[in-house]
Structure 1
Amino acid sequence: MSARTRRQKAALAAEESEDSPSNGSVSTPSKRASSKKRARSAAREESKESKENVFLFTPNLIGYSRVVLTFASLYYMPLHPRTCSFLYTVSCLLDGLDGYAARYFNQSTTFGAVLDMVTDRCTTACLLVFLSSAWPRWAILFQGLISLDMASHYMHMYATLSMGGSGQSHKKVDPSRSWIMYQYYTSKLVLFICCTANEAFFIGLYLLSFSSPTLSPSLLQPVSDSQLSSAQPGNPAHPEPASLFASPWSAGALEMARANKLESTWPWIITGISFPIMAFKQFVNIVQMVNASKWLAEGDIAARRANRKK
């Protein structure tokens, strides 16, 4: 018997109980009408709930738009730094809007939480992959950041769902387990600043790969004929625009020419200001991974103890 059927029968039983004179009270037409009205209202609520589609909740629709914007930014990432940065930034800002929409419309769901986390992890990982190709010498550092971010959040989410229950949110952290994690997830302002500054740092590095000869010396180096066929991401002056686009007046060639004239002042400012917060965010990732590992180990010990008692 479904939960809906049981609740409907309970409502009918309550209605019959109120109508019955054996319950010690006198049944009046007004009481019977009120009881029937409540029963019909409960039935309408049940019907409304059964028609809800979690995939079309407002915060999840915002999450889908973030995925579209992310794919668009990845398309423009190799040669169009301005367009890519704009699309990527909008996608990151929408990350704060979906949480607000979930609270406002009372549409917080486990699917939405997982969608939000997966989108965040994949978006950051794709940008770090580009930075690895732009600066191969530092690829191991960017690969390590990808691994830390993925492992930390996966283990935290898995530990929360397996140890705390399927209805437990990964943002509800017991302060007795970690004061830092509790402050990080409880304060919406702290969480927003950390996530925003973390992405801003990597966006700044991305823009510097197009504008800073200090980090990308090939921006100042002339290109020989033998190098024209080897396009390197992050070095838009290598090769020349004409070697990639048939028409020098095409949108791609014009954007690439503009990329060569990017000013590095603002990217340096963004990177410098956001670096300390980015470093703190990586520290939080380490703490999160360690605490999740301890929580899972506690569950293993409890399970082994229970098995020995059988």
Structure 2
Amino acid sequence: MSERRTRRQAALAAANETPTKSTSDVETNSSGNGSAHSPIRVPDAKATPSENIFLFWPNIIGYSRIVLAIASLYYMPLHPRTCSLLYSISCLLDALDGYAARYFNQSTRFGAVLDMVTDRCTTSCLLVFLSSAFPRWAIVFQGLITLDFSSHYMHMYATLAMGGSEESHKNVDKSRSWLLNLYYTNKTVLFVCCALNEVFFIALYLLSFSSPLLSPQLLQSVDETKAAAIQTGAQVNSSVLRQLFTNPYSAGALEMARANKMDSTWPWIIAGISAPVMAIKQFLNIVQLIKASKWLAEGDVKMRREAVAAKSKKGKKSA
């Protein structure tokens, strides 16, 4: 009898010494239920360092592109040299943000969308100005804006809807289009196409200030009285501010733009060299639009077949 009591007391003592597992030591399965097998300690959420995606270096470069683009639009009506310089720097930074994303391992979906939206908006703003500078060709520039937006939107939506939310719009399989695969996967091809496409439109912008054939209204002669007014310009209190923040809409600035005529030789040469690449880029936009539309249509056909099959199966069960 005493031996049984001794065994029972020893068992109770061992049970009291067994540590109790906390909820953090219990492995949680996909359904949310705890499992006693292979316990895993879940790290405390407070111990994980938080990241501010908006302050990643690639995104900071993206914000800088936006600032430079807005500044170029401010000078666009009357100061072609300043506008072209700011606009070109903004476009060149487009290649730098991708490099920074890979170097710092800071690739994000927000950054990818920010980059694409910035590209579409800056190009569209330039094409809007060209529509006003060359009214006879306005419908062409409007068509280019429409094609650019629609093809990229359709391609992005098709990638998310058919490829999944984790799929990048640059991952184009060769079976869908070897041309788009080459365009998005070859960095050299991508850079040359995008860069020379922008260069062509910048050349047209410069020609609107330099070519008598295209824009004769900006090449009127300036008499001595107006030339004196040009030197005076708009007066501000600080000479430093006057140099940094000139008013491009003042009367003096208008005459300055007309007086500082640009030589149209180089803009014509640049436009001629970049025109074929610009045409290729627009052709790629058309291919992208068609391929994305077909991909979405294939998904619609598949969904409709599945819906018909499910409805037929349901009808057989009810019968």
CA drift at 1:266: 1.4
Q: Note the 1:1-310 alignment, pairs <5 A.
A: 10=27, 47-48=48-49, 51-220=50-219, 248-250=232-234, 251=246, 252=248, 253=252, 256-257=255-256, 260-310=260-310
Name whichever of 252-261 and 89-98 sits farther off: 252-261
CA drift at 1:206: 0.2
CA drift at 1:44: 8.9
Cα distance change of structure 1 residues 86 and 220 upon mapping to structure 2, 3 Å threshold: closer
Q: How far apart, CA to CA, are the structure 1 residues paired with 2:306 and 2:24?
A: 37
Greater fraction helix: 1
Aligned to 2:208, the other structure's residue is in SS state helix
CA drift at 1:218: 2.5
* Contact 2:59–2:111, Cα closer than 8 Å, also in 1: yes
CA drift at 1:9: 5.4
CA drift at 1:219: 3.8
Q: How far apart, CA to CA, are the structure 2 residues paired with 1:45 and 1:172?
A: 35
TM normalised by structure 2 equals: 0.75
Aligned to 2:209, the other structure's residue is in SS state helix
CA drift at 1:249: 3.0
Q: Which amino acid aligns with 1:297?
A: A
Cα distance change of structure 1 residues 118 and 197 upon mapping to structure 2, 3 Å threshold: same
CA drift at 1:17: 6.4
Unaligned stretches of 5+ residues in structure 1:
1-5, 19-34, 223-236
CA drift at 1:55: 1.4
Query: Considering only aligned residues, what root-mean-square deviation do their CA atoms show, in Å?
Result: 3.0
* CA deviation profile, 1:83-139 (whole Å, cap 9, x unmatched): 111110000000001111111111111111111111000000000000000010000
Q: How far apart, CA to CA, are the structure 2 residues paired with 1:185 and 1:61?
A: 23
Aligned to 2:275, the other structure's residue is in SS state helix
Q: How far apart, CA to CA, are the structure 1 residues paired with 2:197 and 2:133?
A: 19
Per the alignment, residue 314 of structure 2 pairs with none
Aligned to 1:296, the other structure's residue is in SS state helix
CA drift at 1:193: 0.4
* CA deviation profile, 1:46-102 (whole Å, cap 9, x unmatched): 612xx1111111111111111111111111100111111111000000000111111
CA drift at 1:162: 1.0
TM normalised by structure 1 equals: 0.77
* Contact 1:171–1:186, Cα closer than 8 Å, also in 2: yes
Q: How far apart, CA to CA, are the structure 2 residues paired with 1:98 and 1:74?
A: 22
Cα distance change of structure 1 residues 45 and 165 upon mapping to structure 2, 3 Å threshold: farther
- Paired-residue identity, %: 65
Unaligned stretches of 5+ residues in structure 2:
1-22, 29-33, 235-245, 311-319
Q: How far apart, CA to CA, are the structure 1 residues paired with 2:196 and 2:58?
A: 23
* Contact 1:185–1:191, Cα closer than 8 Å, also in 2: yes
* Contact 2:230–2:253, Cα closer than 8 Å, also in 1: no
Q: Which amino acid aligns with 1:270?
A: I
Per the alignment, residue 233 of structure 1 pairs with none
Aligned to 1:211, the other structure's residue is in SS state coil
Aligned length: 264
Q: How far apart, CA to CA, are the structure 2 residues paired with 1:148 and 1:75?
A: 26
Q: Which amino acid aligns with 1:287?
A: V
Cα distance change of structure 1 residues 56 and 283 upon mapping to structure 2, 3 Å threshold: same
Cα distance change of structure 1 residues 105 and 127 upon mapping to structure 2, 3 Å threshold: same
- Runs of 4+ with >4 A deviation: 6-11, 42-46, 240-243, 245-248
* Contact 1:129–1:143, Cα closer than 8 Å, also in 2: yes
Q: How far apart, CA to CA, are the structure 2 residues paired with 1:67 and 1:8?
A: 48
Q: How far apart, CA to CA, are the structure 2 residues paired with 1:285 and 1:249?
A: 45
* Contact 2:176–2:291, Cα closer than 8 Å, also in 1: yes
